Amino acid sequence: VTAGTEVEDLLRRAAPRVLGVLVRRHGQFDLCEDAVQEALLAAAQAWPRHGLPEEPVAWLVTVAGRRLTDLWRSESARRRREDTVAARQPSTRHHAPGADVDLLADTSSSAADDTLQLLLLCTHPALSEPSRIALTLRAVGGLTTAEIARAFLVPEPTMAQRISRAKATISAEGASFTLPDHDHDERLAAALHVLYVIFNEGYTATEGRTLTRVDLTAEAIRLTRRLHQLLPDDGEIAGLLALMLLIDARRDARTGADGRLVPLAEQDRRRWDHGVIGEAADLLARTLAAAPLGPYQLQASIAAVHAEAAGDADTDWRQIAILYALLERRSDNPVVTLNRAVAVGMADGPEAGLAVLDTVAGDPRLRRTHRPDAVRAHLLERLGDHAGAHEHYLRAARAALNQREKRYLEERAAATTPAGPIAPPDPDVVQS
């Protein structure tokens, strides 16, 4: 008999493989996804009781394939999702796996292809970003609709509707499972963006009770790691993985005992996960040596410079400013320039930082955001202009959409009333 959590983990890892096989064979993404969900349900009931089948993926493909036939035969079958799938379980030998046997260790190129194509399908350009995220977590991540709904704090019927509409859109687009080569790079970039958004959602989440939410940060890292295994030579996938690991390594140090945001400069660096930092730094070094440079590698390089510094005062800000300048040339994002203003302010003094800030402050894309005010406040504070800093911290606090950040900015505003200590804004909060 196998433990329930072990089965659950196995099923989640198997889900995209099974769906990939089915979609490749039959097309019709929406029906295949329904069939796979039902096969997973059957397995979740049967496996803990009877042990794992010898070939879990083949078992699931068989059950899902039969279910798919049923779905074709009868439109009304779609509404009978909970009926007795268990009655149709294939008879296979069951046995308990050896402790270190990975039953999913299929390195064949078709299995790898299926997972990758599935991810690219879930991040199809016809879908809105919330739909891409939901579908990726469900079809590739193997999460349930209820888990995804809780993670994003929307009612379950809303998430169910979002997912079912996304599936219908993909089917209606007649999206083919194998992409023409010229679309590949663009689609892969869109998929990486979705994974990064999922990561950031988990990292900056302040809503609700975090204990009962799925760990989106861990999920994003898991999926990116899987993608990196599939395409080890892709520099941007490796760069994104390194970036996520470097940021996540600071997680414990980032929140104070009272839930308060601790900015990078004030973090206790002994609480960083130096094992993870080492892994990410190695990965990044190998990647930078071999692959063409891209934005995720540059962002990871910036995070690595922070990770290497023994303390805030030892940080190589000049190097960071150069990396941001390289990033600026590769992306049309005013937030990158704001970050460069902070780095230049640290390397060459606050006046130089303000000069960089002035080049971008009027960008309409920053109009409603708190960031230009937060950066200006920080630079004015370092310049000794406490009245100016106070005013801009207040403005930034009013505009911030993240509660912990809002609280931090309010604290800075309070501290700059007459004359207070200096703390830079938290670069973690800035995302592209």
Partner 1 sequence: VKYLLIIQMNPATWESLSEAERTEIAEGQGTFMDTITASGEMVGTHALADPSQSAVVRGRPGASTVTDGPFLEAKEYMGGFYVVDCENVERAHQLAAMIPGTDRLPVEVRPVIFTAGYGLAEPDTT
Q: Which residues are near partner 1 by CB under 8 A?
A: 128-131, 134, 149-150, 152-155, 157-163, 165-166, 206-209, 211-213, 368, 401-403, 406
| Residue 397 near residue 410 (C-beta atoms within 8 A) | yes
Which of 138, 171, 195, 216 lies closest to 71 in space, CA to CA? 171
Question: What's the min distance (Å) between Cβ of 228 and partner 1?
Answer: 28
Q: Would you say 43 or 134 has its CB closer to partner 1?
A: 134
Question: What's the min distance (Å) between Cβ of 34 and partner 1?
Answer: 17
Question: What's the min distance (Å) between Cβ of 153 and partner 1?
Answer: 5
Structure tokens at 156: 């379950």
Distance separating alpha carbons of residues 26 and 295, to the nearest angstrom: 37
Question: What's the min distance (Å) between Cβ of 33 and partner 1?
Answer: 15
Question: What's the min distance (Å) between Cβ of 428 and partner 1?
Answer: 18
Report the b/e string of 16-31 with b at 16+ CB within 10 A.
Answer: bbbbbbbbbebebbbb
Sequential DSSP letters for 106-129: ---HHHHHHHHHHHHHHT-TTS-H
Question: What's the min distance (Å) between Cβ of 329 and partner 1?
Answer: 26
Question: What's the min distance (Å) between Cβ of 150 and partner 1?
Answer: 6
Q: Would you say 76 or 212 has its CB closer to partner 1?
A: 212
| Residue 26 near residue 32 (C-beta atoms within 8 A) | yes
End-to-end CA distance of the chain: 47
Q: Would you say 96 or 401 has its CB closer to partner 1?
A: 401
Question: What's the min distance (Å) between Cβ of 245 and partner 1?
Answer: 27
Question: What's the min distance (Å) between Cβ of 335 and partner 1?
Answer: 15
Q: Would you say 311 or 364 has its CB closer to partner 1?
A: 364
Structure tokens at 343: 């780095």
Q: What's the Rg (C-alpha) of the chain?
A: 24
Q: Would you say 79 or 209 has its CB closer to partner 1?
A: 209
Q: Would you say 341 or 397 has its CB closer to partner 1?
A: 397
Distance separating alpha carbons of residues 140 and 149, to the nearest angstrom: 16
DSSP code at position 211: G
Q: Would you say 52 or 163 has its CB closer to partner 1?
A: 163
Q: Would you say 201 or 273 has its CB closer to partner 1?
A: 201
Residues in the chain, total: 432
Q: Would you say 270 or 368 has its CB closer to partner 1?
A: 368
Q: Would you say 161 or 417 has its CB closer to partner 1?
A: 161
Q: Which residue has the tokens 């993909």?
A: 170
Question: What's the min distance (Å) between Cβ of 201 and partner 1?
Answer: 10
Report in angstroms the alpha-carbon separations of 157 from 154, 160, 237, 272, 398. Answer: 8, 5, 33, 39, 33
| Residue 216 near residue 205 (C-beta atoms within 8 A) | yes
Sequential DSSP letters for 129-179: HHHHHHHIIIIIT---HHHHHHHTT--HHHHHHHHHHHHHHHHHTT--SSP
Distance separating alpha carbons of residues 401 and 281, to the nearest angstrom: 32
Contacts (Cβ under 8 Å, ≥6 apart) of 117:
20, 23, 24, 177, 178, 179
